[in-house]
Amino acid sequence: MPATQQSMQDDQEKLLDEAVQAVKVQSFQMKRCLDKNKLMDALKHASNTLGELRTSMLSPKSYYELYMAISDELHYLEIYLTDEFAKGRKVADLYELVQYAGNIIPRLYLLITVGVVYVKSFSQSRRDILKDLVEMCRGVQHPLRGLFLRNYLLQCTRNVLPDDGEVTEEGTTGDINDSVDFVLLNFAEMNKLWVRMQHQGHSRDREKREKERQELRILVGTNLVRLSQLEGVNVDKYTQVVLPGILDQAVNCRDSLAQEYLMECIIQVFPDEFHLQTLNSFLRACAELHQNVNVKNIIIALIDRLALFAHREDGPGIPADIKLFDVFSQQVASVIQSRQEMPSEDVVSLQVSLINLAMKCYPDRIDYVDKVLETTLEIFNKMNLEHMATSSAVSKELMRLLKIPVDIYNNILTVLQLQHFHPLFEYFDYESRKIMSSYMLGNTLDNNTVIKAQEQVDAVLKLVSTLIQDQPDQPSEDPDPEDFAEEQNLVGRFIHMLHSEDPDQQYMILNTARKHFGAGGNQRIRFTLPPLVFAAYQLAFRYKESSSVDEKWEKKCQKIFSFAHQTISALIKAELAELPLRLFLQGALAAGEIGFENHETVAYEFMSQAFSLYEDEISDSKAQLSAITLIIGTFERSKCFSEENHEPLRTQCALAASKLLKKADQCRAVGTCAQLFWSGRSSDKNGEEIQDEKRVMECLKKALKIANQCMDSSLQVQLFIEILNRYIYFHEKQNEAVTVQVLNQLIQKVQDDLPNLEACEEAELIKKHFHNTLEHLRVRKESSEADGAAYDGLLL
Amino acid sequence: MSPPFLGSLFGPVCEIDVVLNDADSRKTAELKMEDGKVEKHFLFYDGESVAGKVSLPMMMMMKLPLPRHSELFGDKSNTHEFVNLVKELALPGELTQNRSYDFEFMQVEKPYESYVGANVRLRYFLKVTIVRRLSDLVREYDLVVHQLATYPDVNNSIKMEVGIEDCLHIEFEYNKSKYHLKDVIVGKIYFLLVRIKIQHMELQLIKKEITGIGPSTTTETETVAKYEIMDGAPVKGESIPIRLFLAGYDLTATMRDVNKKFSVRYFLNLVLVDEEDRRYFKQQEIVLWRKAPEKLRKRNFHQRYESPESRPVVSAEQPEM
């Protein structure tokens, strides 16, 4: 095949070359004769030149080149004749003379050339000649030759067409109506020829022919351009004559390629103001087009243009009397009605452009947008569609459709006002629902859209339920953990957007959210419940702030804490431990801080829950250490416990610390416990620190003892240094039991052990730590007067 | 401008000169001869007088006839004189000096046009005969006669639907059935049904010269004009315009049974050629007539245009359509 194509191309080049050569020779002769004023001979050569255009051998592309070459030569003749006529050297009957040419192609080209000269020279003949030319061209019925002949007619007459506002000599004939008739007739004939090309030759060449036709379409379209350039074609003329004429042709030619091109051409060449006045007729015509025509693209092109027009700042906007949306809405419906074969994605595409129109032209009319969604929904219902696969075209289009309100409003609450959004959303399959849900939540976060009412929360969470709860249609295999985490983190962030200024409303919001998230399954709740618990604590703080105006605030706080308790318990049921432990500790702190009635009980309960989680659920030693450290830290900060509750808790802490598995862990935890006996506070002593010197020393000594049992010498030294630091802390806090001797002993011990350490990076770090510690002491000692602690006798 | 003289025939010995009285004002007309050369002669109309002067160097007796005859070229002997008007200009005698003689044929009836065709020629000429003892001296002087006609009273358009069943149906229309020689044929072809792949369509103007009567009839056919009116294949519903100017072609008026010797008739032949070069055609007779020049229009001619029947004639040689 390529070889054949190549040889065909070579043939074309050869043929074209020969023809162009002949044209050169003949047109040279023509010019010579013109120079000698031998007009008749010149015409004969012109006719010979034009004879080359009679060929059937050239492809459209080659024919075009030949045509261009010849039309240049004819232009020379035209200028010569125009000059001669202007000089008064008129050749009688020239218009008749050229008609003796026996072959029609040269005859008509010459007739057009001479005709235009006549029109320029005798303006009273204009109307008749234009009419005659366009009629006589009917003689060429061969599509390619006819198209070019009529194109020549159109090109030659472009400056002589009668138009409104032109300056004319007296006696000039012809007005805008003649021009419109002229171009419309030429257009109709050209279109017929163009369409006819499709039906010539073998059916196996169909593709090639379509390609050739595409190459030639501009010739047909130029007629429309010419019409649009006429001043006299105003809105009225366009509405009454021009558009009906074009549409009549377009619809009746029944050729999809032509229809598609012509309709788009109309949209592109005529001004928006015209389109606005002719929406109905244009769109009605769309409904009548061939089934193969991509009507969708046509309508979308028009809508997009008008939407742009409505949006233009310097433009007049859409006139009030034109119900743009209603018209489009109705006509699009009837187009869809008339085309049962239309793929559903195209139906949706149309709705996309409708929604764009509504958004751009009527930004306030949410009902318009909803109307589009409703129509789409009805169509889907009629089609009996199941969940549509994400990969399907219709699903992609639907996503485009639904994203538009999200993107334009940038407010999920406005989207919620669209009654038909959610039902339509349900047509997505699992994957698409998930993507779309994430998209909406992302949009909410990006725009900081605060969701203020319980009903809204309910609606949003129902809408994005794919992210929140298991779905009947979800795939059986587990999702990618990273993706899942990302998605759920998004949901978690979103929870912070649920916020009402009114605490009672906020409480309802949290309850509603809890219901939705609670059903999310073990995998999801670890992401979604903690933010809820934090939101609950925040709400409790807000109640405290409003204690002066809300008598029932304490009761409400209690409810919130039981809400939190229950929520955290849900996490425990999901076999989580560290997370609920932390949430309990946070709750205990919050309860203590807020200090509502019963708060101690609540705090105690939360602490004890944390303890039991620690004891029952946390087995990993590292996790244990960090959990107990956290518990101790939390407890140390709590001020709400009476001695009755404080005592067992701190004992429990110390006990737990000493029960840790690894010696190093024990050592550190016990050391930390020492803090409890110093800065822990119970409500009995008005919140003052316990400062139990003896117990502190016991703890530290115990830590030291445990460190002594440590086998790893570098770890041991490290622990000693840590304990030394604790001693120093308490010494500075003026714990009398921590004497300089104690410090000296410990420093001595470390100094003894340090040289025995193997030289390694770790040892360096340890030495550095020790050095810094000593440096600290030195500084303190030198400025000892300032803080009351005695450093006398400290050996450094 | 004076028409050339056949002086050389006579040599310097006997110079016969014929000069028309109105030679300065009389128009001339061209006549294309059978060999293709164009001769130019003074133009006369029916009923006009022919008057002039014959100059002779020396003469004994002279006869001046005004013969009109048709010649059949194929048979030179077959010459028919229609009219022979004779004037004796001088009595026999010896011509001793140059002399000229006036002559006049009053209101000569000239019922036919001058015509030069393939097989027939119709001429008017002045013939000066000098009767001598041994051989007569003869000098012929050609005139051209045009037969003028007025606008026909009846001039219907020609309209007809023809075709081949289930294959091709067309309707054609010529705006008139009678055209003057400078006329323009305007018409239209409607395609009612097209199932063949037409390549082009042309209109031919055919001239038929029929000589002889009865079984010895000879018909000479000549295609005067061949005019492409359509390029490419039309579809049903197309209408193709026709416009053919006649002035540019070498045409004579239609002549019927001129002196029962010959006829000249014209036909329009519409030819469609398909992609396999098959030809489909339909002939239709039209009548051509000579219209009086503008300034003669006002005169009253006693000759009226005879209107022949304008019914369609389908000839036997074209069965296709």
Domains in chain B: ranges and CATH: 13-60+80-145 (2.60.40.640), 158-293 (2.60.40.640)
ipTM: 0.83
Each residue of A12-26: pLDDT tens digit?
999 999 999 999 999
B214 has a pLDDT exceeding 80: no
Let me know the angle formed at the C-alpha of B94 by B91 and B98, rounded to the nearest 5 degrees. Answer: 95
CA–CA separation, A408 and A411 (whole Å):
8
Q: Tell me how many helices (H) and strands (E) chain B has.
A: 0, 20
Most confident of A475-479, A491-495, B9-13, B100-104: A491-495
Pairwise CA distance, residues B269 & B224, whole Å: 11
Pairing of strands B279-289, B178-180: parallel
| pLDDT exceeds 60 at position A161 | yes
Whether the pLDDT of residue B317 is over 80: the answer is: no
> Could you give the percent of chain A with pLDDT greater than 70?
99
**List of residues 6+ apart from B41 with CB closer than 8 A:** B3, B28, B29, B31, B142, B143, B144
Confidence band of A389 (pLDDT split at 50, 70, 90): confident
Averaged pLDDT for residues A552-562: 85
Q: How many helices (H) and strands (E) does chain A have?
A: 38, 0
The answer to whether the CB atoms of A139 and B241 lie below 8 A apart is yes
**Higher pLDDT, residue A691 or B188:** B188
CB contact under 8 A, B232 and A136: no
A135 Cβ under 8 Å from any chain B Cβ: yes
Partner residue opposite B245 with nearest CB, options A100, A102, A105:
A100
Q: Which two tokens stand for residue A203?
A: 């059916």
For A196, the closest chain B residue by CA position comes to B235
As a whole number of angstroms, the distance between CA B7 and CA A504 comes to 139
Q: Residues of A with CB below 8 A from B230's CB?
A: 104, 139-141
For B76-88, the pLDDT digits (tens) are: 446 777 777 777 7
Give the one of B232, B234, B243 whose C-beta lies nearest to A99's C-beta: B243
For chain A positions 153-212, those within 8 Å of chain B (CB to CB) are 192, 196, 200
Q: Per-residue DSSP letters for A764-794? A: HHHHHHHHHHHHHHHHHHHTHHHH----TT-
Q: A690-749 pLDDT, tens per residue?
A: 888 888 888 899 998 998 888 888 888 899 999 999 998 988 888 888 888 888 888 888
pLDDT value for A129: 96
Taking only the tens place, the pLDDT of each residue in B8-61 is 344 444 567 888 888 888 999 988 887 888 889 999 988 888 888 887 654 444
How many Cα atoms are found within 13 Å in the side-chain-facing hemisphere of A117? 29
Enumerate residues 6+ apart whose C-beta is below 8 A from A419: A370, A373, A374
- pLDDT, residue A346, reads 87
pLDDT at A156 over 80: yes
Give chain B positions within 8 Å (CB) of A138.
238-241
> In Å, how far are A308, A324, A357, A627 from A330, measured between CA atoms?
21, 10, 14, 67
Q: So what's the pLDDT on residue B136?
A: 74
Reduced to 3 states (helix: H, G, I; strand: E, B; else coil), residue B14 is coil
Question: How, if at all, do strands B38-45 and B137-146 pair?
Answer: parallel
Q: Do B241 and A54 make contact, defined as CB atoms within 8 angstroms?
A: no
pTM over the 0.80 mark = no
Predicted confidence at residue B63, as pLDDT, reads: 56
Instruction: Give the residue from A40, A141, A253 with the most B CB atoms within 10 Å of its CB, the best one to mutate.
Output: A141
Helix axes A279-287, A243-252, angle to 10 degrees: 10
| Nearest partner of B119 among B75, B79, B61, B149, judged by Cα | B75
Residue spans of beta strands (DSSP E) within B46-94: 50-56, 62-72, 75-90
The values of phi and psi at residue A162, to 5°, are -60, 140
Whether B277 and chain A come into contact, CB under 8 Å, resolves to no
Which residues from A are below 8 Å from B240, CB to CB?
A: 138-139, 141
Better-predicted residue by pLDDT, B224 or B125: B224
Distance (Å) from the C-alpha of residue B88 to the closest C-alpha of chain A?
49
Give every strand in the sheet of B50-56, ordered side by side. B17-20, B50-56, B99-105
Q: What is the mean pLDDT of residues A415-419?
A: 91
Position B127, amino acid: K
Cβ of B241 within 8 Å of Cβ of A135? The answer is yes
What the block records as the tokens of A441 is 């939540």
Report the alpha-carbon distance of residue B26 to residue B2 in Å, rounded: 10
pLDDT, averaged across chain B:
79
Please report how the helices A104-121 and A60-86 are oriented relative to each other, as an axis angle in degrees rounded to 10. Answer: 40
CA dist A262 → A254, A255, A267, A696 (Å): 12, 10, 9, 94
Name the average pLDDT for chain A.
89
pLDDT tens profile A41-70: 999 999 999 999 999 999 999 999 999 999
In this prediction, residues A528-547 reach a mean pLDDT of 88
**What is the chain B residue with the closest CA to A132?**
B241
What is the structure's pLDDT at B94?
A: 63
| φ and ψ at residue B194, rounded to 5 degrees | -130, 110
Quote the percentage of chain A above a pLDDT of 90. Answer: 43
CA distances from A157 to A116, A120, A132, B107, B192 (A): 7, 10, 13, 57, 32
Residue B106, phi then psi, degrees to nearest 5: -80, 130
Give the pLDDT confidence score for residue A112 in this predicted structure.
97
pLDDT, greater one: A320 or B176: B176
Residues facing B53 on adjacent strands:
B19, B102
A305 has pLDDT over 50: yes
Element holding B158 (H helix, E strand) = strand B158-164
Bridge partner list, B220: B209
Please tell me if residue B91 touches chain A, with a CB cutoff of 8 Å: no
Chain mean position to CA A281:
35
Better pLDDT: A531 or A574:
A531
A429-602 architecture in CATH?
A: Alpha Horseshoe (1.25)
- pLDDT tens for residues A659-675? 888 888 999 999 998 88
Question: pLDDT tens across B130-155, in order?
Answer: 777 677 777 888 889 998 888 888 99
A495: pLDDT strictly greater than 70? yes
pLDDT at residue B7 is higher than 50: no
A645 and A604 Cβ atoms separated by less than 8 Å: yes
The pLDDT value given to residue B312: 35
Q: Do B235 and A99 touch (CB under 8 A)?
A: no
Residue A661 C-alpha from the chain's centroid: 54
3-class DSSP state for residue A313?
A: coil
Under 8 Å CB pairs connecting chains A and B tally to 54
* CB within 8 Å: B231 and A136: no
SS3 assignment, position A656? helix
